[in-house]
Structure 1
């Protein structure tokens, strides 16, 4: 065992941490999105084929383009499984409960999970929550066979556990990422895109060969193995890592400086919630994050429905097409992350300028592409391209809303991200309601344009608000007074007996908290 650990330690410790964070997001998404695919096999459709006709045929014919009067799209859901596989006849409403229960729990724990990671340590929080998610995923088939309500409960608990992951990972980034490498670290948190693609690709063959239960057992087992590797390779900070080289530790600590408490006995302090919640820069970051989340949920849900219902083309029927936006966002995030790190190394512009400038790519360009999507007409290829590049351009969020909390208060990065993400995830509930409101009377272009305009407006408006009120300057409430100094002060205050002693004590215990600019 020690030999294998030493082989890993040939690689820099911070690279191991970043790599394990990438796979944490990968595995998390495997456990998150598997239900949306598996439920098709769990509740097979009695109607083997459906024919969908689109209003686009008339519009396109007027221009002499692709479609004709007899064009129809046929979608088949013919699921092959081993003989004797148990299936269910749940209603559409019951299936909706199963699919949405994960996100009920996820939105709840996001709000306080960052604080939990800062108090208990992100390593432990990630390990136990991921282990719980993996074990419950393995038990999911048994829960489904008992009753769909049991399945809802299991998925709810998995969501509650998953809500701890990303805030805890952001708390880890604050301790491990030198400023010149922060873009790459944050880009690693988009590994969920690969997890989505792998899950969608893996589930089909597993279901056809072994039945839908295997599509839960395999991701769950992968999650358990990942947890074991995580516990060996990852520690809360360079100071706590038992095998990190002295050179690497010194480099990380010097690069991060005094913005993050890195002592071997880190001070566990309750975040200054009053200062956080009354901070205008923090509010600007939350609004920027909400705009990004709205756009992401919108592109993932409403845009595919638009292509399907308005154009008569089923985007999700082809695995490659349905995964393109996710892959584009991950690839673009790596590119933007590398660009950001390069800018930091050269020190040519301020952090605030960089955060605001890249809002152009993370929010404004995606918003403009959504507007264009409402005017593409019956051009499925162009529509898919706009959806893909809209989400891909949002990969620049690694330099804006996904990292700004690290600028404001790296000591409380998990708390800040958790609050922002908890609020931002409400967009997952709101966007379907907005879509349903505008499309209740039909699925033509007239009905869909206001939907796209709403999404684009939130993208662009949140960016403009951040450009006006956001900042990349570390806030004064980030800094933690050393415990030893506070204890000395209390002891000296208790033992003071003379004026001279009092004067000396006051001088010795003055806490000089730097005002970072």
Structure 2
């Protein structure tokens, strides 16, 4: 144990915090996205959809062998162990199962940041992720009872998980020096790797053990992660027992007076009126919504598109459908490093950088989705387009995923929570939109409006941010904390802690000039 602790002391504390945030997003997405592939095994599809796709492609006359190559389309039946229970849920019922998680998720995102700023992100993340992990392991039993019971379980799991990302952004505000913020925010895309691993693992698990195992494994991994989180992560450098004095001073001085430095989180009431009347915040919210629309389209619809429209069997679907998320993670690391270099060398203004990289995070992905709607008869090309569309969105580490840190780092969790809560309505809207357009089949004619809708939201949100967004820290970020009540009752007329030389380490936030 002493050797283990000594090793942790040699590793920078902020590196361990960043890695644990990365794996927090990883396990969160394991529990979030497993349903998108599992439901294909829970509700076996109809081979007539693939036959329709093949007949559509055969009707297209083109000279390109790429566009006419349907040899990779497979009509092999879905294989699971004998005796596995399956369900006869309608397309609409499946949409409710997929959307249930996001109904709950959108609600608690709104308050997750404020809860983390009030009680500390370490505690908030531990409790809520543990609840989500337990509910994931109970999902098979819920499905056997009734599909609406499964919807309810997914809804409560979403309620618990909605606290995670706002709480992590509150943690970033206290741990990330400005010159390292791009890399810290890139760690929050660990969900991309979680998605890739989950969807790649799900196919073999289902094939060998049945779809129930695809719930039990992510749930068990998540419970193990919760234990590690509690022992390795702390709310701020001031609270960390193993951080070196040199690293602590470096972080606190680099962040400066934009964030309240304290040995514990105080009861600061966010300036909600100023937030909701701030045009820069609203521009960031719109940009975040556009990004989430594309994100949740790939999360909830991509496995079905790859399986039903492109015709790949389930064991291939998981790996292929996860490629966009893997690309998004890789691109995010590249863009994050570029952004940190720009900040460090002061090449251009932060505002210009945020707006310029909207080209990669939103506009390019939108254009690629439009192209996808017209090249569906080439399965390989379709997968490439989806992959690069999501990969390019990795630039969101320099746009919507970090802009709230610019506007008000003191309330980064609250701002991200509000934006993510509203934007996550896309999580339950996109399955319903997809179900509406594909209710009569899964041919390319049915999928094309889905792609065009996503592209429109992507591009329009970027244009709005370019016109009205900014990276300037807002005046309402500088709000002094409310005085705390002493644990011991003061005598009447006693002076405040500031005048009596109290050892409280809180730094009063000066007004911005």
Give the alignment's TM-score, normalised by structure 2: 0.86
The 8 Å contact of residues 199 and 321 in structure 2, kept in 1 or not, is answered as no
Deviation per residue, 1:478-510 (Å, 9 max, x gap): 1122556999xxx9xx899xxxxxxxxxxxxxx
Equivalent position SS for 1:4: helix
The 8 Å contact of residues 49 and 76 in structure 1, kept in 2 or not, is answered as no
Residues in 2 aligned to 1:234 and 1:70: alpha-carbon distance in whole angstroms: 50
- Residue 435 of structure 1: CA displacement? 4.8
- Residue 215 of structure 1: CA displacement? 2.8
Residues in 1 aligned to 2:237 and 2:264: alpha-carbon distance in whole angstroms: 12
The aligned residue for residue 515 of structure 1 is: 512
The aligned residue for residue 421 of structure 1 is: 420
User: How much is the aligned-residue C-alpha RMSD, in angstroms?
Assistant: 3.3
- Residue 294 of structure 1: CA displacement? 1.7
The aligned residue for residue 56 of structure 1 is: 57
Equivalent position SS for 1:51: helix
Deviation per residue, 1:381-432 (Å, 9 max, x gap): 3332222111111100000000000110111111111111111112233334
The aligned residue for residue 479 of structure 1 is: 478
Deviation per residue, 1:432-464 (Å, 9 max, x gap): 454566667887767655544433232222112
Q: Which runs of 5+ in 2 are unaligned?
A: 496-507
- Residue 27 of structure 1: CA displacement? 0.7
Q: Which runs of 5+ in 1 are unaligned?
A: 497-510
The aligned residue for residue 500 of structure 1 is: none
The aligned residue for residue 288 of structure 1 is: 287
- Residue 327 of structure 1: CA displacement? 0.7
Residues in 1 aligned to 2:377 and 2:479: alpha-carbon distance in whole angstroms: 58
The aligned residue for residue 504 of structure 2 is: none
Residues in 2 aligned to 1:358 and 1:259: alpha-carbon distance in whole angstroms: 25
Change (3 A) 1:321 1:243: same
Residues in 1 aligned to 2:308 and 2:44: alpha-carbon distance in whole angstroms: 22
Residues in 2 aligned to 1:244 and 1:457: alpha-carbon distance in whole angstroms: 47
The aligned residue for residue 30 of structure 2 is: 30
Residues in 1 aligned to 2:150 and 2:436: alpha-carbon distance in whole angstroms: 30
Equivalent position SS for 1:236: coil
Deviation per residue, 1:82-122 (Å, 9 max, x gap): x5x55143432554443332122111111111111111111
Matches within 5 A, 1:43-442: 43=43, 51-52=51-52, 53-59=54-60, 61-63=61-63, 65=65, 73-81=73-81, 85=83, 87-92=85-90, 93-300=92-299, 312-314=310-312, 317-376=316-375, 378-435=377-434
Deviation per residue, 1:256-291 (Å, 9 max, x gap): 000111111433112110000000000000011111
Change (3 A) 1:347 1:50: closer
The 8 Å contact of residues 78 and 313 in structure 2, kept in 1 or not, is answered as no
Which has the greater radius of gyration?
1
The aligned residue for residue 9 of structure 2 is: 9
Residues in 1 aligned to 2:333 and 2:454: alpha-carbon distance in whole angstroms: 25
Equivalent position SS for 2:59: helix
- Residue 126 of structure 1: CA displacement? 0.4
Equivalent position SS for 1:63: coil
Deviation per residue, 1:228-275 (Å, 9 max, x gap): 111111011101111110000000000000011111143311211000
Residues in 2 aligned to 1:46 and 1:69: alpha-carbon distance in whole angstroms: 22
Give the alignment's TM-score, normalised by structure 1: 0.86
The 8 Å contact of residues 62 and 68 in structure 2, kept in 1 or not, is answered as no
Change (3 A) 1:77 1:186: farther
Residues in 1 aligned to 2:509 and 2:321: alpha-carbon distance in whole angstroms: 54
- Which deviates more from structure 2 when the two are superposed, residues 365-374 or residues 384-393? 365-374
Residues in 2 aligned to 1:73 and 1:19: alpha-carbon distance in whole angstroms: 39
Residues in 2 aligned to 1:495 and 1:214: alpha-carbon distance in whole angstroms: 63
Residues in 2 aligned to 1:148 and 1:54: alpha-carbon distance in whole angstroms: 34
The count of aligned residue pairs is 494
- Which deviates more from structure 2 when the two are superposed, residues 327-336 or residues 24-33? 24-33
The 8 Å contact of residues 134 and 223 in structure 1, kept in 2 or not, is answered as yes
Residues in 2 aligned to 1:482 and 1:45: alpha-carbon distance in whole angstroms: 56
Deviation per residue, 1:300-347 (Å, 9 max, x gap): 45667667777x544974433222111111100000001111111112
Deviation per residue, 1:356-389 (Å, 9 max, x gap): 1111111122122223333437433333222211
